[in-house]
Structure 1
Amino acid sequence: MSTTNSESEVQRSCEEEDKTENGYSHEENGDMTNNGLTSASWRASSRAKKSQQSLLTLAFPISRVRRLVKSEGDIQWVGVEAGFLIAKATEIFLEKLVEDAFERMQGNGQASILYPHLSSHVASSERLEFLSDIVPVRIPAAAALRNASMTDK
């Protein structure tokens, strides 16, 4: 199945959900819709629809992701679907990393996410250990020199 067919099928299902959702009419008390759903259920289905639409949008262009993957080694071809999945996985990973750094920022009572928030999160998270060389905790030069001289002895 090609990506175009997959995207058009998802788009059709979203349009069908739109027709169904737009057919809802709230009664005067606002608690029920004409098909028996509570307004909470209606809001939940609306959130699910928005979530489904966000799965189709990307922060990173697929063409650039594919080019980057191809430039990394022996890979000569990256399919559009694979590029889409890699781009989406990268986006989700970065969202989670930034959310966790944001929590650290709030814990420190600051208003901006800074490098120390990211590096301390990477250092304290076992599942992010693979990033420890890329995002190390900063230490002052004097402390680094002291540590280096202690290890030389």
Structure 2
Amino acid sequence: MINRDYCVTMARYNSWQNKQLTGFLEALDPAELTRDRGAFFGSILATISHLYWGDHMWMSRFDGGSKPTQSASESTTLFPTLAVWSAERFRMDGRIRIWAENLRSVDLAGDLIWFSGISGREMSKPMAMAVTHFFNHQTHHRGQVHAMLTAAGSKAPVSDLAFMPDSF
């Protein structure tokens, strides 16, 4: 289904997208970040907070490292400001890239088993599917943020994978 090269590419894409996104978000009036825009999580800050929480949770399952101390229901309120989110996002993107670069083929084989607090039960899915979901979840929520940025009258980052710089 997928291989290490896919994961490295998607980890690079994630970093590139978040770096671009940060610039556009910093250009917004801070009130625009918390304005309820009718999106699933309401505001831009709530959506990027949830996305970070999801990345943190999935990475804990993939690399055995730290996991969020907050529940899924608290995932939208992790960051009081964009600056705090930006610093933590930078660190998480580094964690994702290091994980992807150190993958071996065998790491993507077999099943991933974890306890899901959201569903309240043990889950088991093919590791390759879980990793694909992880990267798809990022893209999905960044798409929501893209729409909210344009609704706020801002430009939004180029998000086409084909346009990712080679040097990134």
Tell me which of the two structures has the higher relative contact order, counting C-alpha pairs closer than 8 angstroms and 6 or more residues apart.
Answer: 2
TM-score computed with the length of structure 1 as normaliser: 0.34
Larger radius of gyration: 1
TM-score computed with the length of structure 2 as normaliser: 0.31
Richer in strand (by share): 2
